[in-house]
Structure 1
Amino acid sequence: MNVEQVYKDANALLDGHFLLASGNHSRRYLQSAKVLEYPKKASLLTDALAKMISDSGIDVDTVCAPALGGVLAGYELARSLDVRSIFVEKKEGGMELRRGFEVAQGEKIIICEDIITTGGSALKAAQAIEALGGKVVAFASLANRGFCKRVGGNDTAKAECSLPHDIPLFSLDDFTFEMFTPEECPMCKEGSTAIKPGSKS
């Protein structure tokens, strides 16, 4: 599957001048919500991701996503794997399980995001699950921004990656975009203003 083409076809791989959640700037931006608004496209992506996970031999009971960005991807991956879907929500300094969701002791859980950048949100989700007795067996995402090493990928983990190195990350493709600090940003120097298409503050 050509994941980059799927994003392009959905107008989800954007070109311009973007402010990232990290505070850095980039000429390109992935907007997974534009892919996931089409259920058939979403299912094609998560079916492929589920096959990677199943082929690895990892046993999964539940998929957990960090809200809000990962909820659709997590739900679709759970459907593809035929397991339960839950999500965690932000609280001060971390995330927590709400809405009557429960985790059994030793329950095998995959943390799923739409996009993994440094993995900070996924790590907070994993910590919330493990605090309840769940066992995080893998991380997963539709796209990997290249900071963390995915199973089958060519990139090595960067210092910015927050994910533990002893738990696998499954992702469909790497999207490594050049990033700039605001002080070094060539688009800013040309007089352009960065826009923030994502939802995170």
Structure 2
Amino acid sequence: MDIEKYYTQANALLKGHFLLSSGNHSDHYLQSAKVLENPKIAQELATALAQQINAAKIQIDCVCSPAIGGILAGYELARALGVRFIFTERVEGRMTLRRGFQVSLGEKILICEDIITTGGSALESAQCVEFEGGEVVAYAGLANRGFCKRVGSSLPRKPEARLPEHIPFFALEDFVFNMYDPKDCPLCKQGQEAIKPGSRGN
């Protein structure tokens, strides 16, 4: 499956100067919402991801995603896997499980994002469900920014990766773009303003 083609056709592979949720800057950005706005494509991508996960024979009782970005991908993946879906969200800067969602003791949970960069938001969601007694058995994303080591990829894990190495991470493709510390960003030095994706119609 050519995942880059899906993003390109949806005008979701953006080039410019972007401020990422991690605080770092990049010259590319994947806008998954533009891909997932088409329900048929969302279903196709989730089904392909579910096939990878099912092949690994991991028991999964529930999919959990961090809001907002991971909700569509996580919901479609849960449907493809035939399990329930919940999500976490930030309240005053802290990732929280709310809206009446509950996790059973020992419930086996997969954490799903649309895009995994360093895995910080996914890890925060994992900590939420673990606090409630759930067991995180896998991580997943439609695309991997190349920092975390995914199942089936030859790319090595980078020091910035935050996902635990002993838990499998599944994704459909690796996207390796430049990422810069804002203190040493060549685009900033050129006088280009960093845009936070979604803040100006992108």
TM-based fold match above 0.5:
yes
Bigger drift between 83-92 and 167-176 goes to 83-92
What per-residue deviation string (whole Å, max 9, x for no partner) do you get for residues 60-117 of structure 1? 1110111111111110000111110111122356422211111111111100000111
TM-score by length of structure 1 reads 0.93
1:61 matched to which residue of 2?
61
Give the Cα–Cα distance (whole angstroms) in 1 for the partners of residues 180 and 113 of structure 2.
Answer: 24
1:176 matched to which residue of 2?
176
Count of paired positions: 199
Give the Cα–Cα distance (whole angstroms) in 1 for the partners of residues 191 and 90 of structure 2.
Answer: 36
Give the Cα–Cα distance (whole angstroms) in 1 for the partners of residues 193 and 27 of structure 2.
Answer: 12
Residue 18 in structure 1 maps to residue 11 in structure 2: no
1:1-201 alignment, distance < 5 Å: 1-92=1-92, 94-198=94-198
Q: Which runs of 5+ in 2 are unaligned?
A: none
One-letter amino acid of the counterpart of residue 141, structure 1: G
- How much is the aligned-residue C-alpha RMSD, in angstroms? 1.4
Give the Cα–Cα distance (whole angstroms) in 2 for the partners of residues 167 and 152 of structure 1.
Answer: 14
Give the Cα–Cα distance (whole angstroms) in 2 for the partners of residues 198 and 174 of structure 1.
Answer: 22
TM-score by length of structure 2 reads 0.93
Q: Secondary structure at the match of 1:171?
A: strand
Bigger drift between 189-198 and 51-60 goes to 189-198
Give the Cα–Cα distance (whole angstroms) in 2 for the partners of residues 148 and 98 of structure 1.
Answer: 28
Give the Cα–Cα distance (whole angstroms) in 2 for the partners of residues 97 and 23 of structure 1.
Answer: 24
Give the Cα–Cα distance (whole angstroms) in 1 for the partners of residues 86 and 182 of structure 2.
Answer: 37
Give how far 1:173 is off: 0.6
Sequence identity (%): 64
Give how far 1:122 is off: 0.6
Give the Cα–Cα distance (whole angstroms) in 2 for the partners of residues 183 and 104 of structure 1.
Answer: 44
Q: Which runs of 5+ in 1 are unaligned?
A: none
